[in-house]
Chains A and B, each alone.
Chain A
Amino acid sequence: MSTYKLYYFNVRGRGEVARLIFAAADQKYEDIRYEREEWVSHKSEMPLGQMPVLEYNGVKLPQSAAINRFLANQFHLAGKDNFDQAKVDAVVDTINDMISKYRPIRMEQDEAKQKELTKTFLADELPKHLQNLEGLGKLYGSGGSFFVGNNLTWADLYFYDIAQHILELDENIFNSYPWLKENRQQVEKQPKIAEYLKNRPKTSH
């Protein structure tokens, strides 16, 4: 029996997709959550002094994308063959391109500046990424509501998670993107996901 331990902060952040994958797969794991003050004493235990880290059968693995893809592969949520897995990776990378433009804005300390940057992001930057994602869903989704091959994959879980941050900026954003709206609804309807979403800790981000 393989053992899985996930080490992260007590937030969704870069750890939540792994938790969603464990939930979708109905796989038990140790969900270790460090508060910021606790983290300091554990930093040196992690290969790169960062989290999330997955410990699989006692061996530590850093880097959230590597962790997520590994778990998805273990639990058959990565795509049915190498090429479908590549399509899933392409969707994930496109989601990353979108969120990498937003993260610096979130870090901005000056409230007025942040408001301005957010406005520009929503108007000028975000639409092309959402259009790209709808484009990939229609190209690879075999006519269904999931991103690749008519099956739930971690690309859907990743989009579901990141989209929650976008919705905090504009709760109506997906009204203009019906395919993406439907995709998220299909994810939420999965019984094991619905159960997990109902029971997970409520955190600030």
Chain B
Amino acid sequence: MPSYKLTYFNGRGLGEVSRLIFAAAGQKFEDVRYERDQFPAHKAEMPLGQMPVLEVDGVKLPQSSAIARYLAKEFHLAGKDNFDQAKVDAVVDTVGDSFKGFIPTIFEQDPVKKEEIKKKFFTDDLPKHLQNLETLGKLYGNGGHFFVGNQLTWADLYFYNFAQTYIEAEADCLNNFPWLKQNRAEVEKQPKIAEYLKQRPKTQF
């Protein structure tokens, strides 16, 4: 049994998908969380000076999606064959496309400008991506509630996590997307996920 150590900030951000995958798999791991002021002292230990980093039996792996996909494959949450795994990747990439538009709303300092770009994101930008995600779910989901092949994969966990960020900014953003709402409800109902969500630290991001 390999030993797993995940190092990230004390927040959900780009690390939470991996934590969700560990939880869904019932897999123990060392969950190292640095506060923002602790990180500079450890930056040089990271291959790219960034987090998250996964350490497996002492070998370090950077890049959040590479980490999440690796863990999903190890724990059979990635899709049943190469093509299903590709469908999962396509869903993940589509969620990723939606998040690119959200990032400016995080970093904008001017409160008036921030409110403006937030409004534009939720009115004009996000709905297109949510529509695309529903399309993929219906195309690949075999009539079920999960994105690919009628079983939970890391695509569902990935969407679950980033949608939480959107919902915290705009509570109604999924109201026109019942398939996506149902998908998130199915994720939350998984016993190991429900347990994890109940117990995980409440963080700012």
Contact = CB atoms under 8 A, between A and B. Distances in A.
Interface of A: 47-48, 56, 59, 61-63, 65-67, 69-70, 73-74, 82-83, 85-87, 89-90, 92-94, 132, 135-136, 139
Given A83-B56, A83-B70, A135-B48, A89 B63 contact: yes
28 contacts: A47-B135, A47-B136, A48-B132, A48-B136, A61-B83, A61-B86, A61-B87, A62-B90, A63-B90, A66-B86, A66-B89, A66-B92, A66-B93, A69-B85, A70-B82, A70-B85, A73-B82, A73-B86, A82-B70, A83-B61, A89-B63, A93-B65, A93-B66, A94-B63, A135-B47, A135-B48, A136-B47, A139-B47
Contact of B65 (A56, A83, A89, A135): A89
Contacts of A66: 86-87, 89-90, 92-93
Given A62-B90, A63-B94, 18 more contacts: A47-B136, A59-B83, A61-B86, A61-B90, A63-B93, A65-B89, A65-B93, A69-B86, A69-B89, A70-B86, A73-B85, A82-B73, A82-B74, A83-B70, A85-B73, A87-B61, A90-B62, A94-B62
B67 interface: yes
Where chain A touches its partner, the secondary structure class is helix
B48 A94 contact: yes
Number of contact residues on B: which range applies? 20 to 34
Contact of B66 (A56, A73, A90, A139): A90
Contacts of B83: 56, 59, 61, 70
A85 B89 contact: no
B63 A63 contact: no
Contacts of B85: 69-70, 73
B69 interface: yes
B169 interface: no
A87 B65 CA distance: 11
Given A70-B82, A74-B82, A135-B48, A86 B66 contact: yes
Interface in B102-157: 132, 135-136, 139
A9 to B, nearest CB: 18
Interface string B47-74: 1100000001001011101110110011
Contacts of B47: 90, 132, 135-136, 139
A132 B59 CA distance: 17
Nearest to A48: B132
Contacts of B65: 89, 93
Nearest to A70: B86
A67 B86 contact: yes
B90 A86 contact: no
Q: Which 5 A-B pairs have the closest CB atoms?
A: A70-B86, A89-B66, A86-B70, A66-B89, A93-B63
A122 B122 CA distance: 34
Contacts of A48: 94, 132, 135-136
A101 to B, nearest CB: 13
Query: Which of A48, A73, A82, A92 gathers the greatest number of chain B CB atoms within 10 Å?
Result: A48
A92 B67 CA distance: 12
A47 B70 CA distance: 26
Query: Which of A66, A87, A90 gathers the greatest number of chain B CB atoms within 10 Å?
Result: A90
Query: Which of B59, B93, B136 gathers the greatest number of chain A CB atoms within 10 Å?
Result: B93
B63 A90 contact: yes
A69 B59 CA distance: 23
